[in-house]
Copies of this chain bind each other. A is one copy, B any other.
């Protein structure tokens, strides 16, 4: 039996296609009698409305595209999971856009949004459709956007963020309170807003404590495990080693820890390590990793919420949501050695 269309169901149940459509989308406005007839035909025929027709007519895809630099990353994965779950409740599907940091892929996803493949965009990456110079004019052509994690410096787009500056400052202050004076920073990828913000928090905390910044103690990383390894190796070569290392991501902290332990350093007795994110592995490290907790699920939920507001046309205005971070003191940080 060929696949049934709405006309077939209409014919079977003796009503018009319009009524079938109404029965399915808006049951309340058809009479009970009709509804029953139609539903019977629908079920017996195993009819599932084709989305192609509906999409074309309504000009909506029912999809939301999530653009991320790396879905393998625990932070991103955690967020997207919450997003997917909430989106589904609202009747939307999630299209995955993993840029792998490639500009060409960012273009690709921008196109997808433009061709109507998605009704809205969740943007977790910095570059992207936005060539900052010509961003604003383009912006209005694009579907609704919510930006998170990496703050895009454009007015008028909704954002969900944590206060990276304060988060980093809190981290460093924790180390300072333990008596550390030589505190290294392992940064994220060059020029991303999150890294710049966390760096600022680091600098602010040190400045407030009247400790001079030592450029040698600031290492560039990329948030990944391996860059944590590289950074730590570099730091260990220093004549004057840091007594504490603040990594801008847990992954890098985990990488750093493994280098230390391999080389016989004790954590935190010899060197304290801090991370940022509080991924689920953090508390299971030995020693458990002190870090700044990011509320991944809340971030995901907030993103969807803001986007849905725009999609439903409820809110024209951009909103900014700031979620709280939390210092998680565990065993990887301790008093500075004498």
Kindly supply a per-residue 1/0 record for chain A positions 165-177, scoring 1 wherever the CB is within 8 Å of any chain B CB and 0 otherwise.
0000000000000
Q: How far is the CA of A81 from the CA of B97 in the complex (A)?
A: 10
Partner of A115, one of B50, B115, B261: B50
User: Contact at A261–B286, with CB atoms within 8 Å?
Assistant: yes
Taking the complex as formed, is A48 at the interface, i.e. its CB lies under 8 A from any CB of chain B?
A: yes
Interface size class of A (residues with CB under 8 A): 35 or more
Residues of B within 8 A of A116 (CB): 50-52
Q: How far is the CA of A88 from the CA of B117 in the complex (A)?
A: 14
Q: How many copies does the complex hold?
A: 2
Taking the complex as formed, is A112 at the interface, i.e. its CB lies under 8 A from any CB of chain B?
A: yes
User: Contact at A48–B81, with CB atoms within 8 Å?
Assistant: no
- Interface residue ranges, A against B (CB under 8 Å): 48-53, 55-56, 59, 61-63, 66, 70-72, 74, 77-78, 80-81, 84-85, 88, 93-98, 100, 105, 108, 111-112, 114-117, 225, 229, 254-255, 257-258, 261-262, 280-281, 284-286, 288
Known: A51-B115, A77-B77, A115-B49. A225 touches B72 (CB 8 A): no
Partner of A93, one of B50, B62, B100, B112: B112
Partner of A257, one of B72, B84, B286: B286
User: Contact at A98–B72, with CB atoms within 8 Å?
Assistant: no
User: Contact at B71–A77, with CB atoms within 8 Å?
Assistant: yes
Residues of B within 8 A of A48 (CB): 111, 114-115
- The distance from the CB of A223 to the nearest CB of chain B, in whole angstroms, is 13
Q: How far is the CA of A51 from the CA of B257 in the complex (A)?
A: 49
30 A-B pairs whose Cβ atoms sit less than 8 Å apart in the complex: A50-B115, A50-B116, A51-B61, A51-B115, A52-B56, A52-B59, A52-B116, A55-B55, A62-B117, A70-B81, A71-B71, A71-B84, A72-B74, A72-B77, A72-B78, A80-B96, A81-B98, A81-B100, A84-B97, A84-B98, A85-B98, A88-B108, A93-B96, A94-B96, A225-B284, A254-B284, A257-B284, A257-B286, A281-B281, A286-B286
